[in-house]
A and B are shown apart, each in its own frame.
Chain A
């Protein structure tokens, strides 16, 4: 579960409000899609949830752990995939996975099984002993995803996870999202791909200029009183983020 209560984050000493009084709860077993135009505050919100940024005010809790007060407990149950796969290029894929397994304390048997599984799914098995430096952008994205899945976290937070993935990997990742949440875990991800959000997410939040302008299931979003008649998520998104 992820809970944000009246969270505000500004830059330039309060001149730019990136996130403005955001209150949001993502329940266990839920895939939550986070949409918004460029610069709306998606990545800032995600970084606040995973503790990479500190809010000016408000409270953020992950699985009941206050991110500011109990950061290690919150981190132990959370993994994060950034929008750009900046990882240790001089390590091999396997060394990186081992590193993540070590710091999250994943036991050997589980580690072996999960590494084998995700390497096969992401077709990384033949290159896992090569330096990450030699990987393509998509392969780097996949190794970051495999590393995020390795601890089998209660909460996964992903920033644009589908960017750079080939259609097969993207399909498998979406299946994994469902699997993850069917096991009662939480998944929060941002995307610009409306179709994915519409088909995959249990609930969707739309952020615009730092404020949450809509949040709910697809049905709930369609029921919002709007001037335009369109019913697709794209049409709803465009209208809500027009100004």
Chain B
């Protein structure tokens, strides 16, 4: 719809043709409205008067993150107060900006591939009288806006806190605003250039989906290696954050600033631009940052002119051999009648595994999170110059070793928490209905009770979560050397907690499934339901934490505490599962 209206603008009508810039702006405007669902949201809130319950809910969620931000600001303030006497406060700025840019690099891979190559609006955009570079520029602009939101939580607290504490003048704030607006362009343009080149070659292959998956993983791995580099530089000197350690970390010639800055100089330019304000250094760095952003953006547009359509056109086409099945083959492949539950479970599994965006954001995340932990732990260890670890506070294994001897209950609950988090961060449950999108009519039409369909979906989501739990268990057993006596109760607790969190996630998605997406990314990664479910998970786990703390204060035996937690979680899991089935019966007929 929005693309069509864009087309009307682009077409120009019978009068003078609109300028290219005006055309691109029209497409960007349409893209933004479509991406953020502004028209739909306005219609639902103001005309249909639906979804109004979301307004207070988002308000509550916003208030919920205030304490977290307050904590972050306090931390920044403390570090600032340590650095200031040494005149090194700008290192703090550079840390925040680099972290933001590297985060953009990491998430940019997801966004760029999904928006440039899998968005359904491409079907409308490509036939319009627009140049490939213009289509890509419009999509790029939408991702940039998304990234402003992604990095706001990291960059803004640092920049604002430092600015306020240092009582900086207008130059600081003007430059900070310009830097913030420019921040995503360089990392995203770099990712786009690599992705556009990669997709050009993938498109000629017959194994497109597999290659997209491998290519995405490779790019994510690369971005992640940079993140690890950042973490390693930051954490390598111990987390105690004593004044000397912090000072050494920020100021030494081998510091993070120099190390990561050498790999990714725009972070340094941005820091100097903000810190320098209207001084010669500030303006020169600002000009450098803006200039390189413009050059890279232009380079991306030029590359798009040559490569974009060659990568995107025909990507959705799958070549299949035309071959008639023999009678025997047909007889073998026609199912002999599975139960509806099995059929729905099979459908969920196949669609998830065969859609690269869903596979990447769902199942692979389950495996990634524990794997990332291993990687970080291994690198952190290696970063200490091959020593024995020395019992340094940064080594999670050494940390756990200390905990092991200290309190088995804490270890078991900590391991259970780790496994539960690894199992539940993937968003499979909280996007299970949304992922059906325009095909949801089939689920509404088939003669299968909603609760049976929801049960099959639950089993699928739960198994994906258990994949995360299993990987986390292996990590705990092999890398953290967790004994079986601790591992078994931790696994048992996470299995029960998994039921609770999956059921809650499904209920959240069922309350407001996002079915009108045109880009599969929106069904899972940019789905508000996934975020709300994460908030709910944090809330539930925090409540469990305080419950356990209360039990520990009573000084009950370890086994008794574990038993109470297990039974309590089990009861909550059973209730939430049954509530979810009941809610499915209620909601299915209501979803129009």
Contact = CB atoms under 8 A, between A and B. Distances in A.
Interface of A: 11-13, 50-54, 71-73, 75-76, 79-80, 82, 86-88, 90-91, 94-95, 97-108, 111-112, 115-116, 125-131, 133-134
12 contacts: A52-B444, A52-B445, A72-B447, A72-B449, A75-B447, A80-B445, A88-B439, A91-B351, A103-B448, A111-B335, A126-B322, A133-B316
A131 to B, nearest CB: 5
Interface string B316-331: 1111111111000011
A153 to B, nearest CB: 10
B446 interface: yes
B355 interface: yes
A94 B437 CA distance: 21
Interface string B432-459: 0000011101101111110000000000
Contact of A90 (B330, B351, B590): B351
Contacts of B331: 112
A50 B331 CA distance: 32
Nearest to B49: A13
B447 A133 contact: no
Interface in B116-144: none
Given A112-B331, A125-B324, A99 B343 contact: yes
Given A13-B48, A99-B343, A115-B330, A108 B445 contact: no
Interface string B33-75: 0000000000000011100000000000000000000000000
Given A72-B449, A90-B354, A126-B323, A51 B589 contact: yes
Contacts of A82: 441
A145 to B, nearest CB: 14
Contacts, number: 119
Nearest to B346: A99
Nearest to A105: B337
A102 B441 contact: no
A53 to B, nearest CB: 6
B318 A133 contact: yes
B214 to A, nearest CB: 18
Contact of B589 (A54, A105, A129): A54
Contacts of B355: 90
Nearest to A86: B438
B292 interface: no
B515 to A, nearest CB: 10
A71 B588 CA distance: 11
B339 A102 contact: yes
Contacts of B343: 98-99, 102-103
Nearest to B443: A103
Contact of B334 (A12, A54, A112): A112
Given A51-B589, A103-B343, A130 B445 contact: no
Contact of B320 (A87, A90, A95, A134): A134
Nearest to A74: B447
Contacts of A128: 325
Given A101-B337, A112-B331, A86 B439 contact: yes
Interface residues of B, number: 46
B48 A103 contact: no
A97 B340 CA distance: 13
B350 interface: yes
Interface of B: 47-49, 316-325, 330-331, 333-340, 342-344, 346-347, 350-351, 354-355, 437-439, 441-442, 444-449, 589-590, 592
B322 A127 contact: yes
Contact of B342 (A11, A102, A107, A116): A102
A108 B318 contact: no
A11 B339 CA distance: 37
B40 to A, nearest CB: 14
Contacts of B335: 98, 101-102, 108, 111
A91 B347 contact: yes
Contacts of A95: 350
B316 A88 contact: no
B330 A116 contact: yes
B531 to A, nearest CB: 25
A108 B337 contact: yes
A171 B49 CA distance: 45
A100 B355 CA distance: 21
B333 A94 contact: yes
A241 B389 CA distance: 84
Given A112-B331, A129-B325, A134 B337 contact: no
Contacts of A125: 324-325
Contacts of A102: 335, 337-340, 342-343
Given A51-B589, A52-B441, A112-B330, A75 B446 contact: yes
A180 to B, nearest CB: 18
B445 A104 contact: no
Minimum-distance CB pairs A-B, first 4: A130-B320, A102-B343, A75-B447, A90-B354
Nearest to A151: B447
Contacts of B444: 51-52
Given A127-B320, A131-B318, A103 B447 contact: yes
Contacts of B316: 133
B320 A131 contact: yes
Nearest to A144: B442
Nearest to B342: A102
Nearest to B592: A53
A98 B334 CA distance: 6
A231 to B, nearest CB: 39
A134 B592 contact: no
Contacts of B441: 52, 80, 82, 86
Nearest to A67: B589
A98 B589 CA distance: 25
B449 A50 contact: no
A76 B447 contact: yes
A163 B527 CA distance: 34
Contacts of B350: 90-91, 95
A22 to B, nearest CB: 18
A95 B442 CA distance: 14
Nearest to A68: B589
Contacts of A50: 445
Contacts of B320: 127, 129-131, 134
Output the residue of B325, B339, B442 with the most chain A CB within 10 A: B442
Contacts of A90: 350-351, 354-355
B347 A99 contact: yes
B337 A103 contact: no
A52 B330 contact: no
Most buried by B among A97, A106, A129: A129
B323 A129 contact: yes
Given A71-B589, A108-B337, 9 more contacts: A12-B47, A94-B333, A97-B334, A98-B343, A99-B347, A104-B446, A105-B337, A129-B325, A134-B317
Contact of B445 (A51, A91, A133): A51
Contact of A130 (B49, B318, B447): B318
Nearest to A13: B49
A144 to B, nearest CB: 10
A17 B323 CA distance: 50
B347 to A, nearest CB: 6
A12 B48 contact: yes
A108 B447 contact: no
B319 A134 contact: yes
